Amino acid sequence: MCNGCVANIFGKFTLGRGPTRRGLLAASAVTAATAVAGSPARAQSGQAETIFRGGAVLPAPGRLAPAQALAIARGKVMLAGSDADVMALRGPNTRIVDLAGRTLLPGFIDPHQHSLTGGLITAVFDDLGYKTYRTRAEVMAAMRAKAARTQPGQWLLWCNFDNLLQGGDFSMAELDTVSTQHPILVYYINMHDAAANSAAFRAANIPDDIGPLPGGGRFGRGPDGKLDGTIFEESALRKFAVAMPPITPAFVAQAALNWFRTNAAAGNTTVHEAGVIGDAAMLQGYARIASEAMCRASTSLMFEAMALGDAYKQYGYGAQATQIPNSPLTIYGIKIVGDGSNQTKSADQTQPYLGGTSKGYPNFNAADMHRMVAEVKANGWPVLVHCNGDATIDLALDAIEAAYGANPATGVNRIEHCTITRPDQIERMKRLGVQPSFLMNHIYFYGAAYRDTLFGPERAARADSAGDFVRAGMPFTLHTDAPCSNIGGLQLIQTAVTRKCSVDGSIVGPEQAISLDDALKAVTIHAAGQIGQAHRLGTLERGKEADLTILERNPYSVDPNTIMDIKVSQTWVSGVAKFGA
C-alpha cells in the first residue's frame, strides 16, 4: 500500500501551506521538549559531547566487535571502543550517560511503512483489528454499538479489519445488517482492499455497471453478477473519498507527528515512507513535518508522482538519497505497486491458491510494467516494485533486467514484500543486484493461515524466505508496512529468528530462520543501504550519524521467543535524545 492511496482516497486535505504555526506548536510540544532536554552541551574540538558507558555497546551487528563505551560529538560518532579510550575524550562539558547494564545498538530503520497513511487512519478511523476483536461476533457487536450511538447519515469508518483472521470478507449484505442508515466503509489491514454497505455505494455514486479500473482497481460481484460490497486496489478505493471529513494541514501534522513518536518509542530512528503522491506543495509540507519529527523521515515517490523529484535532483539522486534542503526528509527511489495482497488472493501467483483455480492478478501487464520501469530508469532513479506473488516478481525482474541490467549505478532496486519467492528468482535477483524487503510479520500473523488456507505447507514454508537469501550471500531488509502490521523492529527480528506464528504457535518454514546477527543487520546496516544512506546510517562507526537505540536487555542474552518483549529505553538521533531520556 502507498500514500498515493491516502492522497487520492482521502484527498480532501492539502499540505500545501504546511502545518499552521499553531498546529506545529501543539503537535511538536512533546518532541521539542524532549529534544531540548536531551541536547548535549557543545564540547571543545576533539572532546566528546556525550559518552555512553556501563553497558553493552554493539556498533554493528555481526560486523564490528562489541565495545565498552561510545563517544559522540556534533551529532556524529567519535569512537566506539574500550572504556579507557573513550573516556580519554571526556572534556569538562561532556555528558556521561550510564547505560546501567542496558544495550546500545545502531538506531533501527524501518525501510517500508506509511507514515501519513498510518497517522491519518489512526486519527480518523476506528480500529477493528484482530488484536482488539478476535472473533467475528466481537467485530459485529462493536460495529453495531458504534452505529447505535452515531447520528443517522454520518459515515462509519473502520480500519485494520483482517479478513484472514476475522472470518472472511465482509459483504454488502452483512454490512447492511449493521446499518442501512449510515454509509459504512471498512478498510482492510492489508491496505489494498475494503468493503462497504449499500448506503456507502450510493453515497460514492458507484453505478451497478461499473467495470475494471486502471491499476487493478475493481469491485467484487456475487454469483448473481451484482456488486457484493468488496473493493480492490487504489483506483477503486479512491471513489470513496467522499467518506472523509474535512482535514486541515494542522490535523495532518498532528497525526503524522504522533505516528513518528510511536516509531521512536518502538526503537526506530529512521522510517521510510514507501511511496507518496501529490503535488509539490504536499511534498514541501511533508518536509516541514519531518523537521519536527522524533525520528528521521525518508520517502520514495509513487510512479505517478515521479516528476516531484525533479526539483531536488540538484541535491543528488540515484544511489545516494536526495536530501531536501532545510529538512531532514530524504527521497530514495520510485515505487510501483505490482499486485495486491495474498490475504485476499489478489497477489499474482504462478500456482493457484488452495481450494480453487484463482492465481490472483497483476495490477499491470508486462508491457506496462516494462514501460514504467524504463521511465524510472530513464529519470535516473532506482525502482521499488511491490510484489507479493511470484508471478509479479517475474514481471518486475523482467522489466528491471531490460531497463537496468545488472548492478546499476543508479542504486539498489528493491522488491517490496517479496512474499513468495522461488529459488530461481533468488539466483536471478543476486545476478541483477536486486534486493528484497520482507514483511516478516506475514509469518507472525499469517504463517498458519498461509499453510492451511492459502498455499499449503511447501509454499508457505518459503514465504519471506530470508534463510535462502542469507545462504545466497544477499542483503535484505525487514519492514512492518505499518499500518498493515504494528510498528516495531523487535517483533520483526524475533519472527525472522524463530519463524513462529503467533496465532497457533507453529513454526512455519524453520529452514528459513536466520541468526540474530542477520536479523539485526536487516533493520540497521542493510536498511540504511536500501534507502540510499549506508554512508551515514546503519552502524555506529566513526563519522556516521549518532543515531542509536538503547534497549533494557541484550537481545543476544534472552530467549529468542522473548525478543519482542524487550523494552525500548531510549532513542537518539544525531546525538540528541528523542525518546525516553
391-408 confidence digits (pLDDT tens) = 999 999 999 999 999 999
Nearest one of 372, 351, 362, 430 to 393, comparing CA atoms: 362
Give exposure, 89-113, as e/b (b: 16+ Cβ within 10 Å): beeeebbebebeebbbbbbbbbbbb
Taking phi over 0 as left and psi of -120 to 50 as alpha, with beta for the rest, 106 belongs to: beta
pLDDT per position as a tens digit, 135-165:
999 999 999 999 999 999 999 999 999 998 9
Confidence class for position 246, pLDDT limits 50, 70, 90 = confident
Taking phi over 0 as left and psi of -120 to 50 as alpha, with beta for the rest, 433 belongs to: left
**pLDDT given at position 535:** 97
**pLDDT given at position 44:** 67
Nearest one of 376, 374, 371, 420 to 394, comparing CA atoms: 420
Confidence class for position 384, pLDDT limits 50, 70, 90 = very high
- Rounded to an integer, the average pLDDT of 549-562 is 98
Residue 243 exposure: Cα atoms within 13 Å on the Cβ side? 31
Q: Which domains are seen in the chain, by residue range? A: 130-188+193-232 (3.10.310)
**pLDDT given at position 14:** 43
220, pLDDT greater than 80: yes
pLDDT per position as a tens digit, 15-44:
433 333 223 222 332 333 333 334 555 666
Measured between alpha carbons, how far is residue 443 from residues 39, 339, 347, 446 in Å? 40, 19, 16, 5
Sign of CA dihedral 138, 139, 143, 146: positive
**pLDDT given at position 4:** 45
pLDDT per position as a tens digit, 85-128:
999 999 999 999 999 999 999 999 999 999 988 998 899 999 99
**pLDDT given at position 138:** 96
pLDDT per position as a tens digit, 253-306:
999 999 999 999 999 999 999 999 889 998 999 999 999 999 999 999 999 999
What is the rounded CA–CA span in Å between residue 77 and residue 84? 17
What residues contact residue 375 under an 8 Å CB cut-off, 6+ apart? Answer: 303, 306
Confidence class for position 346, pLDDT limits 50, 70, 90 = very high
pTM exceeds cut of 0.75: yes
pLDDT per position as a tens digit, 473-521:
999 999 999 999 999 999 999 999 999 999 999 999 999 999 999 999 9
Mean model confidence pLDDT for the chain? 91
Contact 113, 487 (CB under 8 A): yes
Measured between alpha carbons, how far is residue 218 from residues 159, 197, 353 in Å? 20, 16, 20
Please report, to the nearest 10 degrees, the dihedral formed by the alpha carbons of residues 199, 205, 206, 211 taken in order.
180
- Rounded to an integer, the average pLDDT of 325-344 is 95
Measured between alpha carbons, how far is residue 126 from residues 129, 132, 187 in Å? 9, 11, 10
**pLDDT given at position 33:** 30
Residue 466 exposure: Cα atoms within 13 Å on the Cβ side? 32
